[in-house]
Amino acid sequence: MGLVIRTWNLYHGRTHPKTGQTYLDQMVRLASLDAPDVVALQEVPLWALARLERWSGMRAVWAVAVPNLLGPVARFITDLDPERVRFALAGQANAILLNRRFEVGEERTLVLNPDVKRLEWVRGGRQRRMCQVVEVELDGRQVTVANIHATNDSVLARVEVGLAADFLVEAEQCILCGDFNVHALAVPEFTPPIDGIDQILARGLEFARPPAPWPENRRRVDGSLLSDHALVEAEIAWT
């Protein structure tokens, strides 16, 4: 038996290329349909957080990165024109979906760029970026899961991934995954990265199946791709 781990930047439910429709609930169901163990999500609009458990059947924990400027009407307004509306107006969060066989322990977060001011993300500039961490236990063994969404600037992102790794320094068995926003970045003491910016790295654990992106046909709908990121999946050897 292994632990199936997935990470996916949901792109607020949009497609690539952008169309006039969003598929957020379908995307969450697709990522969780076969009962994986961990699904790390990035760019989740705040209105969707309370729906994640219903859509996935998994336990959901989250960390808000960008507050919601639009309040309860956020979903309605952004769905009016997904191609042009700035989705940061609806806020966004990191979220981790957990198989219900886990015992869930401490949750903590690290703001990766605390210098970003509210006015910057209001104006559509830099956004606050988070590393979300949760401790889980299964079969008497504890694993630390970290979900990161770094800044979309490779120089800044390298620093932020390093900060996230330091945040995990005391975790003997840990998984660091998410949207690193820097290509194939190697992190000391962790498993090697794959080609791309979306990663699943492990320390103190071995892969039964190494990380790999899903083929495009698994996320194609009506001629478009769900998200501008591929879902990445790996399996951790467990027993």
**Per-residue model confidence as pLDDT tens digits over 201-230:** 999 999 999 999 999 999 999 899 999 999
User: What is the sign, positive or negative, of the torsion defined by CA atoms of 33, 145, 214, 47?
Assistant: positive
pLDDT at position 83 is 47
pLDDT of residue 174: 98
**Alpha-carbon span 110 to 60, nearest angstrom:** 18
| CA 48, 51, 55, 58 torsion-angle sign | positive
Cα gap 31→213, rounded to integer Å: 12
Alpha helices for 14-128 (secondary structure H): 24-32, 52-56, 74-80, 118-122
Nearby residues of 96 by Cβ (< 8 Å), 6 or more positions away? 38, 39, 40, 41, 60, 61, 62, 132, 134, 145, 147
User: Please, is 25 exposed, middle or buried when counting C-beta atoms within 10 Å of its C-beta (0-12, 13-18, 19+)?
Assistant: middle
| Under 8 Å between Cβ of 235 and 2 | yes
Tokens at residue 109, please? 């977060």
CATH code of the region 2-237: 3.60.10.10
Domain ranges within the chain, ordered by starting residue: 2-237
By residue count, the chain amounts to: 239
**Inter-residue contact 9 to 229 (CB < 8 Å):** yes
Longest CA pairwise span in the chain (Å): 50
Are the C-beta atoms of 162 and 131 separated by less than 8 Å? no
**Six-digit token pair at 168?**
């995990």
Question: Minimal CA–CA distance to 10: which of 233, 219, 223, 235?
Answer: 219
Cis peptide before 211 (omega within 30 of 0): no
Q: In this structure, which amino acid lies at residue 221?
A: V
Nearest CA to 95 out of 71, 135, 124, 130 is that of 130
Going by the DSSP 8-state scheme, the letter that residue 168 receives in this structure is T
CB contact at 8 A, 154 and 182: yes
Average pLDDT by stretches of 10, the chain with 239 residues: 96 92 95 97 94 98 84 54 55 95 97 82 74 97 97 96 98 97 97 98 98 97 95 95
